[in-house]
């Protein structure tokens, strides 16, 4: 199977589905709830494992009792967890998420990775079988170290650029593939493609929810339609997109214009499916097993 390493944030997500958001000082009863491991790199790793790849997640969880839920979820998914904070007694980052049943929109409160500093190990656990590496930038020192080592080994590198972070300028020269969200805003007046291409990024795309992806061709952006669905919950859809794309790139590397477009189509289809159910795991249910992508090996 194709092996992928993902490095970044891991949270404990507590999700509540409500008919409407509560007003100030108001209590509402959730229609349903779920608890799962979350965070961009974590949801991407879960996606890789579900689609038939081998996913290793490099992150910080710790040994607080709340970490047991994270360990159980990832073990059930088949994600190999390497915890760089295994002896830390502090709690993991917890995301409190309220999803509107009417729109599929959500409100999120979380500390993300700000509550814990992650120091990369002297020897990074990147095996010779790893075919692609993805980072989300939430643990900056770890992201730089992982990308640097992957680049040294000639492993393709991907960045989940959901938003601009202070570490972003240090990451861009180290990545081959960047997919930005529409919320990615460089701090100065420069186009996204000009910025990324100026740092040597060859494969660039912009995700825009239900709107067509924008794929950079080298001469400009071209629109790439995404599948339509009845949206129940958009939480984690971007993470799913990045996980599916990382696996697709690993199986197609080195890329061409045509295979990059194929990889984006493949990833967009998976992300769209994830929006048709509540939470970040229901789309992986047994009824969806026919959606697992076969490992065709290197291309």
Above 90 in pLDDT, residue 81? yes
pLDDT tens-digit profile of 202-212?
999 999 999 99
pLDDT at 103: 83
Q: Is residue 14 part of a domain?
A: no
Q: Is residue 218 part of a domain?
A: yes
Q: What is the CATH number of the domain that holds 174?
A: 3.40.1190.20
> What's the length of the chain?
299
Above 70 in pLDDT, residue 70? yes
Reference 35, options 278, 285, 283; nearest CA is 278
- Return the percentage of the chain with pLDDT > 70, whole number: 95
Q: Is residue 16 part of a domain?
A: no
Query: What does the block give as tokens for 125?
Result: 């656990």
Give the SS3 label for residue 246: helix
Give CA–CA dist 15/10, Å, rounded.
15
Q: Is residue 158 part of a domain?
A: yes
**Ramachandran region, residue 279 (left: φ > 0; alpha: ψ -120 to 50; beta: rest):** left
Give CA–CA dist 253/287, Å, rounded.
31
Q: How many structural domains are present in the chain? A: 1
Q: Is residue 154 part of a domain?
A: yes
Q: Is residue 68 part of a domain?
A: yes
Handedness of CA 30, 38, 238, 96 (dihedral sign): positive
pLDDT tens-digit profile of 249-282?
999 999 999 999 999 999 999 999 999 999 999 9
Q: Is residue 297 part of a domain?
A: no
Above 60 in pLDDT, residue 218? yes
pLDDT at 298: 37
Instruction: Give every strand in the sheet of 54-59, ordered side by side.
Output: 80-83, 54-59, 3-7, 130-135, 157-161, 177-181, 203-208, 211-216, 221-224
Q: Which domain holds residue 128?
A: 3-8+40-89+119-291
pLDDT band at 188, cuts 50/70/90? confident
DSSP 208-234: ETTEEEEEE-SSSEEEE-------S--
Determine if the pTM surpasses 0.85: yes
Give CA–CA dist 163/185, Å, rounded.
7
Q: Is residue 101 part of a domain?
A: no
């Amino acid at each position: 199977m194709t092996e992928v390493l993902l490095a970044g944030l891991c949270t404990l997500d507590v999700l509540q589905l409500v008919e409407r958001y509560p007003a100030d000082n108001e209590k509402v009863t959730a229609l349903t709830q779920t608890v799962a491991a979350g965070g961009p790199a974590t949801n991407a790793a879960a996606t890789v494992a579900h689609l038939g790849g081998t996913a290793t997640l490099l992150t910080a969880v710790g040994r607080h009792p709340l970490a047991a839920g994270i360990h159980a979820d990832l073990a059930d998914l088949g994600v190999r967890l390497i915890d760089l904070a295994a002896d830390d007694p502090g709690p993991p980052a917890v995301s409190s998420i309220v999803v509107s049943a009417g729109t599929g929109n959500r409100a999120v409160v979380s500390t993300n990775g700000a509550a814990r500093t992650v120091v990369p190990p002297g020897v990074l656990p990147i095996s010779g079988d790893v075919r692609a590496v993805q980072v989300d930038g939430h643990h900056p020192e770890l992201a730089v170290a992982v990308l640097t080592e992957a680049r040294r080994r000639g492993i393709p590198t991907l960045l989940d650029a959901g938003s601009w972070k202070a570490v972003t300028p240090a990451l861009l020269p180290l990545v081959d593939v960047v997919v930005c969200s529409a919320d990615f805003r460089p701090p100065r007046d420069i186009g996204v493609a000009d910025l990324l291409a100026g740092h040597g990024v060859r494969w660039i795309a912009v995700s825009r929810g239900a709107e067509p992806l924008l794929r950079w061709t080298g001469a400009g952006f071209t629109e790439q339609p995404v599948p339509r669905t009845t949206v129940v919950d958009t939480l984690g859809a971007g993470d799913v997109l990045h996980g599916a794309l990382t696996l697709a790139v690993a199986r197609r590397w080195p890329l061409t214009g045509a295979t990059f477009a194929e990889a984006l189509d493949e990833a967009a289809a998976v992300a769209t499916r994830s929006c048709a159910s509540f939470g970040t795991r229901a789309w992986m249910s047994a009824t969806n097993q026919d959606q697992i992508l076969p490992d065709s090996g290197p291309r």
